[in-house]
């Protein structure tokens, strides 16, 4: 019941922030539209699959057109009373800039550390010219600083704070001289420990995102590898294994592929439900980054989100489609205490600055916008420190 409720809410709970800069001046913070308009409109109506539905949908009814235009300009769009209440009438919005010397520091990860109320993001580009590439944004004092780990981390991307062991798990991309690796960072000592980097001697494909969960008292790392050649360029050579979702059993110390590219062409974001029994994986089925706007109209791709049950052995089973992404790409994914999920595309138009990921931090929604983060203070808590499996 929880699961089907989560599915409905995820569709209903789209958050839309037009442009992080413009957004803070939006005339309306929250506009609630009838959810019926998502599937039933008076004829004639017209919409372009290349653009978001609010940007491009018109009907023969001026009242509906005005409401859509108003929603298109507002920071949050709600399709249910529950989501309107969650956002609150006028969510406080503030920004925190990347620190000096670390431009474009806020793109991937989005890891909330409840003890210190900071959010860690990783950089935007694969050519980031800094050896330290995690930035901490303090939600207490609104400042940002680079996280200096030992040893330095060069190419981290996705991250997850696992509160059972108090460690932050990161994926590291491969580089010319280093394989993709899953590492942990102890937020207290900033000490880095490598966990895995290969399968039977073959380096993993570039690791994109990671989540850690507990099923039947056993802890498992789930990670996505992502090796789309044209997107990432020659610096990151394609390895022999294709893209896959892998699982590492932290008790038995066994690494296994659990979802192949036959099921998900390019697994990217990955998270579990609050009860630890549903795994969500985004599918970034792009082969040409210049054609982001054509994703949904190309039947050879499936730019989408999948869900799987995690069975008693912690294996993903019963994979099924959860949602299609209309434009842009399916990237980072987070799930709140109530099993509600947020996805990339509603937050932002497809043009720059790109948004890859975000964090849920208590009652705050923290969106990475390349050179700064946007912090929305909502009316209700999304995640609480005591909730161990959503982050």
Ligand X SMILES: *[C@@H]1O[C@H](CO)[C@@H](O)[C@H](O)[C@H]1NC(C)=O
Residues interacting with ligand X, by CB under 6 A? 18-19, 21-22, 25, 46, 48, 51-52, 55-56, 61, 63-64, 69, 72, 92, 94, 116, 118, 129-131, 138, 140-143, 287-288, 294, 298, 300-301, 349, 351-352
Beta carbon nearer to ligand X, 146 or 278:
146
Nearer to ligand X, 177 or 234 (CB): 177
Nearest distance from C-beta of residue 109 to ligand X, angstroms? 17
For ligand X, which is the closer residue by CB, 2 or 291? 291
Rounded to whole angstroms, the Cα distance separating 127 from 235 reads: 9
**Which residue lies nearer to ligand X by CB, 92 or 318?**
92
**Position with the least CB separation from ligand X:** 349
* 155 vs 280, beta carbon nearer ligand X: 155
Whole-number minimum distance, CB 316 to ligand X, in Å?
26
Give me the least distance between CB of 337 and ligand X, in Å please. 22
Hey, what's the torsion of the CAs at 16, 22, 28, 34, to 10 degrees? -30
Smallest distance, ligand X to C-beta of residue 117, A: 7
For residue 143, the minimal CB distance to ligand X (Å) is: 4
Tell me whether residue 1 or residue 299 sits nearer to ligand X (CB atom).
299
The kind and range of the H/E element at 54 are helix 53-56
- At 303, list the tokens: 């730019």
The DSSP secondary structure of 100-139, one letter per residue, reads TT-TT-BSEEEEEETTTTEEEEE-S-TT---S--EEEEET
Residue 239, classed as helix, strand or coil, is coil
Q: Nearest-CA neighbor of 366 among 158, 143, 120?
A: 120
Q: How far apart are CB 63 and ligand X at their closest, in Å?
A: 4
Q: What share of the chain is helix, strand, coil (3-state, %, to 5)?
A: 15, 35, 50
- Give Cα 236 distance to the centre of its chain: 22
């Amino acid at each position: 019941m929880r699961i089907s409720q989560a599915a409905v809410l995820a569709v209903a709970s789209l958050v839309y922030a037009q442009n992080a800069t413009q957004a803070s001046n939006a005339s309306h913070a929250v506009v609630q539209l009838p959810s019926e308009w998502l599937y039933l409109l008076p004829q004639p109506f017209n919409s372009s699959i290349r653009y978001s539905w609010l940007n491009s949908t018109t009907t023969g009814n001026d009242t509906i057109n005005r409401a859509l235009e108003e929603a298109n300009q507002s920071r949050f769009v709600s399709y249910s009373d529950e989501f309107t209440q969650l956002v609150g009438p006028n969510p406080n919005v503030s920004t925190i800039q990347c620190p000096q010397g670390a431009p474009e520091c806020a793109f991937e990860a989005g890891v909330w550390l409840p003890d210190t109320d900071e959010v860690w993001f990783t950089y935007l580009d694969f050519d980031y010219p800094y050896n330290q590439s995690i930035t901490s944004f303090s939600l207490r004092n609104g400042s940002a600083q680079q996280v200096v780990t030992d040893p330095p981390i060069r190419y981290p991307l996705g991250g997850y704070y696992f509160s059972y062991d108090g460690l932050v798990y990161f994926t590291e991309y491969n580089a010319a001289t280093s394989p993709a690796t899953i590492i942990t960072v102890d937020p207290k000592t900033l000490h880095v420990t490598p966990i895995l980097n290969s399968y039977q001697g073959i380096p993993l494909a570039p690791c994109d995102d990671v989540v850690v969960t507990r099923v039947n008292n056993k802890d498992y790392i789930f990670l996505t590898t992502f090796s789309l050649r044209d997107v990432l360029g020659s610096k990151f050579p394609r390895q022999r294994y294709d893209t896959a979702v892998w699982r590492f059993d932290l008790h038995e110390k066994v690494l296994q592929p659990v979802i192949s590219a036959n099921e998900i062409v390019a697994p990217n974001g990955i998270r579990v439900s609050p009860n630890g029994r549903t795994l969500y994986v985004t599918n970034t089925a792009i082969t040409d980054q210049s054609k982001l706007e054509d994703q949904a109209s190309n039947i050879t791709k499936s730019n989408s989100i999948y869900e799987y049950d995690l069975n008693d052995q912690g294996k993903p089973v019963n994979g099924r489609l959860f949602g299609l992404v209309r434009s842009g790409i399916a990237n980072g994914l987070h799930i709140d205490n109530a099993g509600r999920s947020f996805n990339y595309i509603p937050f932002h138009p497809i043009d720059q600055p790109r948004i890859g990921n975000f964090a849920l931090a208590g009652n705050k929604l923290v969106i990475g916008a390349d050179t700064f983060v946007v912090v929305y203070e909502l009316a209700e808590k999304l995640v609480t420190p005591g909730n161990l499996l959503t982050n």
